[in-house]
Structure 1
Amino acid sequence: MYLVPYAATPTSKTDLESLPDLLVSSVLYANLVTEMQTSSLTAGEYKVYFVDSEGRMSAPSAKIVLQVKDEKGLSIARVNQGSSILVGESGFVLRDIISQELGQEIDQEPNQELDLLESRDINDLIQVKQDGDTLHISYNTDSRRFEVIANGIPLAEIGIQPVPDSSISVEPTEDGVRIWPGMEATESTEASLRFTLYSYTEEEERGAELGQVDLPIRFDFTAPTVTGVTYQDGVITVTTDQQMGALPLVNSITYSPSGAFNGDEHFLLDNVPVIALSEDFKQLTIDITELLLNELPLNENGKFRLVISDLRDAAGNLSDKETTLDVRISNVDPDAISEGE
């Protein structure tokens, strides 16, 4: 029995025995299970020929694929099976946030361009397990690659590739892997990021492939806008058309008893208000109870004026212009709700 490369086309026993990647095993009887030790062969595609005592060759077997045995028992998968990666117009930086915040990059010069981008943790997207235990994925700032670490020792590394290549740009930097949309990407473009697990090597070339997983990309290039604002019981609520990815800046809050803002304003930002996002991340609540002085002349003609900026959605799209919102107090009763203008 001869195990030979699948691409080979031998026509005789002599041809078989001249092939470089070859394994030969004797078969004593028909229908006998025969095992062959393949550790000396490289991973790839092979096939089997049988040759009888008179030198006659059989037809080749079906394709046999030899894979590298993962002696460390590593596997790669998504953290959430139904998850996708949301990518905005400016993209984001994929990092190992925990380790990097602990000071791995303390000697590096700050990169102002990357600091303005949203950071995401690779450990929130994919996971590598060994015998059921989840291992930490760390970013090596020297080699600029992600490594799988166990007890402080790198066991494997992870490569990132866009599919198709033109859909996403992937650039390793000293601060992490920057990922942003390709030149021709639109919100309807279908794409994914492929995370491939390789055996660890200190050489520049990749080690043996141990597995891979694809995460679909969802492009969103539209910055959020405010769709409404209300006031009730000392709380201003701002509603947006998209989920917010972070708290915006509240630049000023003023109150005009006449609603005309003609010099009768009261400025209410002497103290920092309590700001929070709703559970669906589409509403921003600003509690100004502590800012409302007892002598503040609330009346049904009065208005609050709120100026906010840096409104950012979950994809990282930023509305960098200031937004001015006027909120009318149509009724000063405790349960009254006023509509934004």
Structure 2
Amino acid sequence: MKRKISLDDIAKHFKVSKSTVSKALNDSHEISARTKAKIIAYAREHKYRPNLNAINLRKEPSHSVGVIIPNILNYFFAQAISGIEKVLNDHGYNMIACISNESHKKEVAITEMLRKGAISGLLVSLAEETGKLNNIDHFKPFLNKGIPMVMFDRVSSELNCDKVTIDDSKAAYNATEHLIKSGCKRIAIVSLLGDLEISKLRINGYHQCLKDHNIDLDKSLIFEKLEKSFMEVEIRKLLSAGKVDAILGLEEEAGVTSLLTANSLGIKIPEELSIICFTNGVLPKYVRPSLTSISQHGYYMGERAARQLVKRIEQNDNGNTFETEVIKTTMIERESTVPVA
């Protein structure tokens, strides 16, 4: 078996200190961009993996996995965490669960904390602010050091790692088409997802469906970057103007808030307004009328992401070929939409 390349080997190759190599792999500002690029490329080419015991001699060999999610109160992420924990536990790994609360600053702090420890791998779903800032540099040191990482749901195309997602564009297309086939033509988008890639993909699916059905796009019906504190006010204005006959909520809160606001205005659902939302959580089942929703199968997604990470860790494989697994969604039809034959 070929001997693993070590930090010392990399240092000797470039005739620099081990400290310089370590700083380069950790994306330190003390090392020039040119030197960092050379060291990182060499480490990747030779599949360098850090000796986790050497990182912290006081610790036992790592059997821990870091998990970063944006919101534990969100039904989807609560389900995903449950799926992740089940798989990790079955394989003897400890889960270090961290919550970014949609904050880029907190997400960065979490990654710094995890880097100081001895984790075997990392599972990540991005914070909303990270998507808005389009800054994912804090994850690169993990990849540079050969620590396996799997992203799920909220992913970044700029990071070369395994990913588990749904087909967001197709799911939104199918939901929009369902509304059109039920007779709706003035379909609004309501979202709290901001600049996240999943938001853009879902809106693209909506656009394409309108185009395919020869319905003109009305940008005044797209509320893609609502702030939570103003969402109900904006939805109330939209519904009071009588401009729409359907709403597609890009996440559960947008859909539920739209339904409750419509109820308060005396709008009949689904006779006067149809509503569909992403995430088949608890609320869509129990609001009245019950809310048609798109199940993203959070528990299963968490399981699949964790299995892929465990596979990478145990096969000691963090090469240059990565997989993106796409999970099919399911529309759960309830009382907020008209049945389509």
Instruction: Work out whether the TM-score is over 0.5.
Output: no
Q: Which structure has greater helix proportion?
A: 2
User: Max radius of gyration: which structure?
Assistant: 1
What TM-score does the superposition give when structure 2 sets the normalisation length?
0.27
The two structures have a TM-score, normalised by structure 1, of 0.27
